[in-house]
Structure 1
Amino acid sequence: MSSAARKKSVLLATALLALAAPLAAGTTASAASVSTWDKVAQCEASGNWSINTGNGYYGGLQISMSTWRAFGGTDYASRPDLATKQQQILTGEKILAGQGQGAWPSCGPAAGLGADHADPYPSGPTYPSPSSLADGTLVKSPNGPSVKVMIKGAGVPVAGSDVTPDHYDLGRIVLIADSAFNGLPSAPPAGTVVHDQAGGADRYVIIDGAALLIGGSDWVSDGYNTRQDMGVPTAWLKDAAQRNLSNGRVVMDQSGTDPARYVMVNGTALHISAAEWTANGYDQRSLMGVPTSWLAASASQQLANGTVVKDASGKDATVYVMAGGKAVPLTYADFTGLGYDKRPLEAVPGAWLTTAAAKTAPADGTMLLAQGDATVWQVNAGKKRPMTADEFGPGKLSFNDVVSVPAALITALPTV
C-alpha cells in the first residue's frame, strides 16, 4: 500500500467504521479470489503474510493498525501479521468494499483487484477443531468476546483479571467455530492435576468440576506426582476450589490406605458400610479416588445444618433434618410446617443415619428455633440457653445459621 494510499486509508478508517461492521466478508460486488489476494500480497510484502518490518504496516496486505481496527481486524488478532492469511483476506475484503482497490493504488490494479469479483471463501471461513489444539491454546468464537484456554479437551474460561498475572498472550488467540466454542466442557476431565497459572505451590485434582486440594503428603503417596500438572486460570481455580463434589458421588482414598468407601452429600463424605455397598447400589456408581488428607477432612466434618435426609435403602421411611451433626426426625407436619418440603431430600447410608439419629444432642454452638417460638436457643454441653438479640448482627452470629427443628427436640434439652 503506497504512502498516499495509507494516509487516505487512515483518514477514511474512522468515517467508515460504522459502515464496515455490517459488511459481509465476501460481498461479491467488490470481492476478489484468494489467488488475486495472493498477487496483492506478493506485490506488497513479497508474499509474506507474517511480515512486520517496523514500518507501521503489517502482514501480507500491509494494513495499518488504524485500518485494521476500523474494519474489525482485531476480532481476529491484535495485529494483521498475527492473524492467519484467511483472516487478513477477510479483513481486506471489508477494506475493498469500503475503499475500493485504491486502498492499494499500485498493487491493487496490478493484481486485478478491481476486476475480480469472486468470493474468496464461498463456503465461509473454516476453523480448526478444538481437538487438534495443544493444551494452553487460547481460543474464542468469531462472534463473541469470551476467551477460553484449552486444557485436556476442555475450554476453561479466562477472566480479564487473569490475562496479565497468568501471562496469557491475547495476540495468540485461535478462532474456532461458534458451535465448537460453546460446546467445550468448562472443566478438565476428572483426575486432571492443576495449579494456578499465575504461580503458587498448591496443587489440585479436578473431579466433577471441583478442585480438591492435594496435601503435601499426598503428592507422592497418592501418585499425583506421576500425572501431568496443568496451569489453569486463577479466577476459575478459585471458584472451583469452593465447589462441592456432586451429591451421590462415591469416593475412596486415592492411596488405598483407607479401604472404606464414602458417598458425598453437600460437601461431606458419609461412610458406606460393607453391607450397604451392594445392597444400596453404590457398587454400580463410578468410584473416584480423592486426596487422602482431603477425604479425612471431609469425612470428619458435620453434614451441613438444615440438610434434609432419608435412609437410602428405604427401610426407614422417616425424614430427618440435620442440626449440629444430629439427625432430627420430622413428622409430616414438621416437614411441611418448617418448610423442609421445599428443599432437596438427600439419600444417605442407613448405618450412618442411625448413628447420627442416636446422638443425644446437637453439637455445641448449634442454634435452634422451634416453629411459633420467638426465642433462639444455643446448645452447650447437651443443654440449651436462650440467646439475646445483641448476639446477632454484622461481625457477630447470623440468623441464617439458625436451624428450625421440632419443638420436641428443644423441650427435651435441659435449660442452662
Structure 2
Amino acid sequence: MSSAARKKSVLAITATALLAIAAPLAAGTTASAASVSTWDKVARCEASGNWSINTGNGYYGGLQISMSTWRAFGGTQYASRPDLASKQQQILTGEKILAGQGQGAWPSCGPAAGLGADHADPYPSAPSYPNPASLADGTLVKSPNGPAVKVMIDGAGVPVAGSDVTPDKYDLSKIVLIDDAAFNGLPSAPPAGTVVHDQAGGANRYVVIDGAALPISASDWTADGYNIRPDMGVPTSWLQGAVQRTLSNGRVVMDQTGNDPARYVMVNGTALHISAAEWTANGYDQRSLLGVPTSWLAGSAARQVPNGTIVKDASGNDATVYVMAGGKAVTLSYADFTGLGYDKRPLEGVPGTWLTAAAAKAAPADGTMLLAQGNNTVWQVTGGKKRAMTADEFGAGKASFDDVVSVPAALINGLPTA
C-alpha cells in the first residue's frame, strides 16, 4: 500500500464527513458502490489479498483501514478491529468509507482497481418472491432458475407443457416468479376431491384422488354433489396422464353418495370389497376413507385384479401367497414363488373374504393365457378348459406374450383339455 493511501485513511474525520455518513449509519444501509470483485482488487493491492492481515503498521485487514476510520464508519458493529471482521463486513464498511470519502481513501489502489467507476452493489438483497399459497387459482408460476412452468390449482403446482400453452390459452407474459425451493416443493397434483376439467375445453369432468383423475358421469355430477364444488381447469397434457393413473394400492374408498355402506380397498386399479368383520379387524378403519364417483366405483369393483398381481390375506393370519390369473387366486408354493420370479414383485394385502372367494374359483376366466415353468406351451382357458395355442396366434394385432401368466404346473394339469 502506498504511504499516501495510509495518510488518507487515517485523516481525522471532519464534522462535515461525519454529517455525510450519519444518515446511512442510522438507517443501517450501505452505499452500492463496487462489486466484490473490485474490492478484491483493492485488497490485492493493499494487502496482497489477505483479509486477516495485521502487520503492526496501524492499518488492518484487506482494505488496510485504520482504527479511527473503522470506528468512525461503524466497523465496530462487526468486530473490534478490521482484521478480525469477515471479508463481507470489511467490504460493507468500505462501502461507507467510499460513500463518505470517495476512492481517494485508497489513493493508489482505489483508482487502480476502478473503485470509483464500479457502482454495483457488492451484496444485493435477495429478491422477495410471493408465497405461492397467496396466489389465485390459474396463476402461472416458475422458478427464476429454470424454464419449467406450473399453474396453481388449489395450492398445487400442476406442470404446464409447451403443447398446452396455445390450446389451453395460457398467457406466458403473466408468469409470476416464486422462490426456487417453493416452486420445487409444490405438490404436482391438486388435493383429493378437487373437481377438474380440460383447460382447453370439453364437457368431461373428473375428480382427483391420489393424482389420478376419475371420470364423473352425467348422473354422478349432481347425485354425488360434484356440481357444488369449484370446477378447475387443468393442463391438457397433465389431465391425459392423470386419467391413465390408478388409485394408490391400499386406498380405502366408498360411494360418494353415501347411500351405499360398502367399503372397498384399491389393489392395482381394482376395488375389492371389505367385509364388515374385516373393516376393523384388518385396520381399514384407521385409513383415510375417500368418496369416489358412483359409476366409476361400480366399474372398478367389477374389474379383475390384473394378471400377475401377487396377493395374500391382509389380516396376516394366513401366510399363503397367491398369483392372480383371470380373476382366480392361484396358490403359490415357496418354490413357485421364487422359481416363477414372483418374489421380485410387490406383495399386496387383500381382504380375506374376497381372497377366499377368488381362490375358490374353479378356473381362470375365459381368454386367460397360462404358462407353466419349464414348458413352452401356452394354454388359453376356454369354458373352464385349456387349449394349446399356436405360434401364429401371437404377433401384431394378435395375442401378446406380455399377457401370459406364469402359474404352477398343477393348475394347468388340473384343467381338462378342450
Same fold flag (TM > 0.5): yes
**Candidates 190, 193, 197, aligned match of 2:192:** 190
**Candidates 279, 285, 288, aligned match of 2:287:** 285
Deviations 1:298-329 (A, max 9, x none): 00000000000000112221100000000000
Tell me, what secondary structure is at the counterpart of 1:237?
helix
- Counterpart amino acid of residue 387 in structure 2: R
Tell me, what secondary structure is at the counterpart of 1:352?
helix
The residue aligned with 1:123 is: 125
CA distance in 1: counterparts of 2:361 and 2:332, whole angstroms: 15
The residue aligned with 1:70 is: none
Alignment of 1:5-404 (within 5 A): 28-29=34-35, 117=119, 119=121, 122-404=124-406
- Counterpart amino acid of residue 210 in structure 1: A
Q: What's the CA shift for 1:123?
A: 1.3
CA distance in 1: counterparts of 2:305 and 2:248, whole angstroms: 14
Tell me, what secondary structure is at the counterpart of 1:355?
helix
CA distance in 2: counterparts of 1:402 and 1:213, whole angstroms: 30
CA distance in 2: counterparts of 1:116 and 1:313, whole angstroms: 73
CA distance in 2: counterparts of 1:264 and 1:148, whole angstroms: 30
CA distance in 2: counterparts of 1:282 and 1:27, whole angstroms: 66
- Counterpart amino acid of residue 263 in structure 1: V
CA distance in 1: counterparts of 2:124 and 2:35, whole angstroms: 14
Q: What's the CA shift for 1:27?
A: 9.0
Unaligned runs of 5+ in 2: 1-31, 37-115
Paired residues of 2:132 and 2:178 also in contact (CA < 8 A) = yes
- Counterpart amino acid of residue 245 in structure 1: L
Q: How many residues of Structure 1 are paired with residues of Structure 2 in the alignment? A: 309
Q: What's the CA shift for 1:119?
A: 2.7
Tell me, what secondary structure is at the counterpart of 1:409?
helix
Q: What's the CA shift for 1:120?
A: 9.8
Tell me, what secondary structure is at the counterpart of 1:217?
helix
Identical aligned residues as a percent: 81
Structure 1 outlier segments of 4+, above 6 Å: none
CA distance in 1: counterparts of 2:291 and 2:134, whole angstroms: 29
CA distance in 2: counterparts of 1:317 and 1:329, whole angstroms: 11
CA distance in 2: counterparts of 1:382 and 1:157, whole angstroms: 48
CA distance in 2: counterparts of 1:302 and 1:143, whole angstroms: 46
Q: What's the CA shift for 1:257?
A: 2.3
The residue aligned with 1:45 is: none
Paired residues of 2:33 and 2:118 also in contact (CA < 8 A) = no
Tell me, what secondary structure is at the counterpart of 1:414?
coil
Deviations 1:322-350 (A, max 9, x none): 00000000000000000000000000000
CA distance in 2: counterparts of 1:298 and 1:123, whole angstroms: 55
CA distance in 2: counterparts of 1:287 and 1:116, whole angstroms: 63
CA distance in 1: counterparts of 2:222 and 2:306, whole angstroms: 32
Q: What's the CA shift for 1:214?
A: 0.5
Tell me, what secondary structure is at the counterpart of 1:124?
coil
Q: What's the CA shift for 1:115?
A: 7.3
The residue aligned with 1:405 is: 407
Deviations 1:104-142 (A, max 9, x none): xxxxxxxxxx97825398212111110111100000011
Unaligned runs of 5+ in 1: 1-25, 31-113
Q: What's the CA shift for 1:395?
A: 1.0
CA distance in 1: counterparts of 2:357 and 2:221, whole angstroms: 33
Tell me, what secondary structure is at the counterpart of 2:214?
strand
Q: What's the CA shift for 1:270?
A: 0.2
CA distance in 2: counterparts of 1:321 and 1:278, whole angstroms: 26
What TM-score comes out, normalization by structure 1 length?
0.72
CA distance in 1: counterparts of 2:260 and 2:386, whole angstroms: 37
Mark the structure with the bigger radius of gyration. 2
Q: What's the CA shift for 1:28?
A: 3.5
Deviations 1:11-59 (A, max 9, x none): xxxxxxxxxxxxxxx99459xxxxxxxxxxxxxxxxxxxxxxxxxxxxx
Paired residues of 2:34 and 2:122 also in contact (CA < 8 A) = no
CA distance in 2: counterparts of 1:394 and 1:400, whole angstroms: 12
Deviations 1:221-272 (A, max 9, x none): 0000000000000000000010010000000000112210000000000000
Q: What's the CA shift for 1:194?
A: 0.2
Shift of the 160–392 alpha-carbon distance from structure 1 to 2, 3 Å rule, reads: same
CA-based RMSD? 1.7
CA distance in 1: counterparts of 2:140 and 2:219, whole angstroms: 33
CA distance in 2: counterparts of 1:272 and 1:357, whole angstroms: 16
CA distance in 2: counterparts of 1:208 and 1:366, whole angstroms: 30
Paired residues of 2:142 and 2:183 also in contact (CA < 8 A) = yes
